[in-house]
Amino acid sequence: IIDDGSEDNTDEIVNAIQDERIHYFKKSHTGHTSILKNFALGIAKGNLIAFIDSDDLWKKEKLGTQVKLMNENSSVSFSISDVTTFRNTTILIDHSYKLQHTVEYKNIFDQMRKGQMLIYNPTLVIRKECFNKVGLFNEAMFSGDYQFNMRLAYHFNAAVIYETLVLRRAHDSNMSELMPFENYAEYIETYEYLYNNKMIRFSDLCKAKSNAFFKMGNIYSLNGQKKEAFSNYLNSFKYGIPVPLHFLRLLRTLRSVKHV
């Protein structure tokens, strides 16, 4: 358990649990889960690595299911599962994958590159030896999850369990809600890394940038920041093949900016 400088009584709660398998480390607050994960990886002794964030939940059969699957399939280097997203007692998204109640063994990099599949880190179980090839999380990034997962999927085959084994909690303090611009910056930086390392085509890089700038434009627009929205829509249009919706948003914000 790696504590990112919490100011509550986490240390008291953890230290009260009499279980020699638990090792608790309290670090100075960084806000970068990439740094915390790398610290944990540096002291982890197991052959399989799994992550769980403080606000998410594993189903009781999660680890057992994935460990058994990994032990039975030596060609698979990591395993992921579906998630259910909830807020308080309400189910917001029952499942994220279209397929259900089956398992696929494959390389998922092309699906991730096309935006057809996403890895949720609390579902991951990875063979520790993979880090020798893939490297650690980029500590310049807040989480580094997306870039790490793209590198992982490029080099190794996955076992995809089309069943919910993780419950993802949505609330106001979710990192994805607090730092949308930083997330999109990481997204763009990831695709630049992939292109520079000849893992994707230039067209993939342009499409990724176009989508990211368009979504950031939407956020600025919702916040009433018309000039910033227009700038991002313009970048989206510059990097992407003309998409009617993107062009329409660009024209609308241009008109709004002229009246500011």
Q: What pLDDT was estimated at residue 29? A: 92
Question: pLDDT band at residue 248, thresholds of 50, 70 and 90?
Answer: low
59-71 pLDDT tens trace:
999 999 999 999 9
Can you read off the two tokens belonging to residue 83?
């998630």
pLDDT at 235 over 80: yes
Location of structure tokens 């490029």: 154
Question: What CA–CA distances, in Å, run from 219 to 53, 179, 228, 237?
Answer: 26, 11, 10, 16
82-101 pLDDT tens trace:
999 998 889 999 999 999 99
DSSP bridge pairs for 25: 2
Q: What pLDDT was estimated at residue 218? A: 86
Q: What pLDDT was estimated at residue 246? A: 56
Taking residues 231-240, what's their average pLDDT?
85
163-194 pLDDT tens trace:
999 999 986 544 444 446 678 889 999 999 99
Taking residues 69-74, what's their average pLDDT?
94
Q: Which amino acid is at 169?
A: R
**CA atoms within 13 Å, Cβ hemisphere of 35:** 13
Can you read off the two tokens belonging to residue 107?
């390389």
Q: What pLDDT was estimated at residue 101? A: 93
Q: What pLDDT was estimated at residue 234? A: 85
Mean per-residue pLDDT over the chain, rounded: 88
**Which one has a higher pLDDT value, 260 or 13?**
13
pTM of the model as a whole: 0.87
Give CA angle at 39 (37, 42), nearest 5°.
Answer: 110
Q: What pLDDT was estimated at residue 54? A: 86
- Written as one string, the DSSP assignment of the chain is -EEES-SSSHHHHHHTS--TT---EEE---S-HHHHHHHHHHH--SSEEE---TT-EE-TTHHHHHHHHHHH-TT--EEEEEEEEEETTEEEES-SSS--S-EEEE--HHHHHTTS----GGG-EEETTHHHHH----TTSSS-HHHHHHHHHHHS-EEEEEEEEEEEE--TT-HHHH-HHHHHHHHHHHHHHHHHTTSS-HHHHHHHHHHHHHHHHHHHHHTT-HHHHHHHHHHHHHHS---HHHHHHHHHHHHHHHT-
pLDDT at 259 over 50: no
pLDDT at 257 over 80: no
Question: What CA–CA distances, in Å, run from 3 to 37, 56, 91, 168?
Answer: 11, 15, 28, 19
